[in-house]
Amino acid sequence: MVLGAVVLGYAVTSILLLKFPRLLHRKKTLKFFPTHISHRGGAGENIENTMTAFHHALEVGTEMLEIDCHLTRDGHVIVSHDSSLKRSCECEGQVADFDYKDLPLLKERHKLDFQQSFTYDGTGCPDRRFPLLREVFQAFPSIPINIDIKIDDDELIEKVNQLIVEFNREEITAWGNRSAIVVDKLHRINPNVPLIFSYKKVLLLLVYFYTGLLPFISLEESLLEVVMPGAVLKYRYWLWDNDAVETYLWVLNEDDEFERAFKLGAHGVMTDFPY
């Protein structure tokens, strides 16, 4: 009898909070709401993660840059997706093996990770160097930037945070990593920077939703960045329609994908093609 009352009370409370999430969860106070996010600065239209790519993406109307960061041997934070130089430069070794001034040039051609049939050909492009994160912040002081901290490295995290604070970007920079361990470190070092869900937390959201626990869970994260499978979208009502977090889908490169994403309720999409 008592157990039944407890279960009924829990179910009613859970349904009530799912319907009215802000009874316990305040809406995130983000300062940016992009619908178009350029993946690696737009890897389908320029050599990825270069200053040329970033300038082009913004010229054609993108609202946020998505970038990745690594640390060189001499302690510079650079913008690069891979820790290895093999794919991007056809060179053996790791970013961390080189001083910044000795890094090789990026190669002129590359395939897209999310559209392998397409090859970008940047033959003759004069901008083939890895940019510093400092350069990016200096060049685009008011543009929202989405940073993937690619590895679990305390020095990298500390230096990225120092640059965010130095350039007064805490409200217009988001950061994260697929690892929950790294995301926890990011939140501890600077809780003022909007946080992206880790893979583990995305999976936990599904568990919380289907067990009715989601309304009771505190969410430090502000941004949900996921691919577009149907399973993930099951809990979109609570997370998306009630503005509990901003949700971006990646990496979409076709018009029908964009249309589907926004019909499903996504706030923004990441793409390799800014134009």
Question: What is the predicted pLDDT for the residue at 243?
Answer: 57
Please report, in tens digits, the pLDDT of each residue of the chain (275 residues total): 555 554 455 455 555 555 555 555 555 679 999 999 999 999 999 999 999 999 999 999 999 999 999 999 999 999 999 999 999 998 999 999 999 999 999 999 999 999 999 999 999 999 999 999 999 999 999 999 999 999 999 999 999 999 999 999 999 999 999 999 999 999 999 999 999 999 999 889 888 878 878 778 888 999 999 887 644 444 454 454 545 788 899 999 999 999 988 888 889 999 999 98
Question: What is the predicted pLDDT for the residue at 214?
Answer: 79
The CB-based long-range contact list for 226-231 (8 Å cut-off, 24+ gap) reads 226/202, 226/250, 228/252, 228/257, 228/260, 228/261, 228/264, 231/206
Question: What is the predicted pLDDT for the residue at 207?
Answer: 87
Instruction: Compute the residue count for the chain.
Output: 275
- C-beta of residue 215 within 8 angstroms of C-beta of residue 245: no
From CA 133, how far away is CA 138, in angstroms rounded? 9
Q: What DSSP character marks residue 74?
A: T
C-alpha distances (whole Å) from 109 to each of 47, 120, 161, 202 are: 8, 5, 32, 34
Comparing C-alpha atoms, which of 131, 48, 137, 119 is closest to residue 95?
Answer: 131
- C-beta of residue 186 within 8 angstroms of C-beta of residue 198: no
Question: What is the predicted pLDDT for the residue at 20?
Answer: 55
Instruction: Output the CA torsion 144→148→152→153 (10° steps).
Output: -50
Beta strands 145-149 and 173-176 are parallel
Give, in degrees to the nearest 5, the angle at Cα 236 between 233 and 238.
150
> In this structure, what token pair is assigned to residue 99?
């001083």
Cβ neighbourhood burial of 228 (10 Å; 0-12, 13-18, 19+): middle
Comparing C-alpha atoms, which of 165, 120, 124, 175 is closest to residue 145?
Answer: 175
Question: What is the predicted pLDDT for the residue at 13?
Answer: 55
Question: What is the predicted pLDDT for the residue at 110?
Answer: 95
Residue type, 260: R
Question: What is the predicted pLDDT for the residue at 188?
Answer: 98
Question: What is the predicted pLDDT for the residue at 232?
Answer: 46
Question: What is the predicted pLDDT for the residue at 231?
Answer: 40
Residue type, 51: M
Question: What is the predicted pLDDT for the residue at 239?
Answer: 53
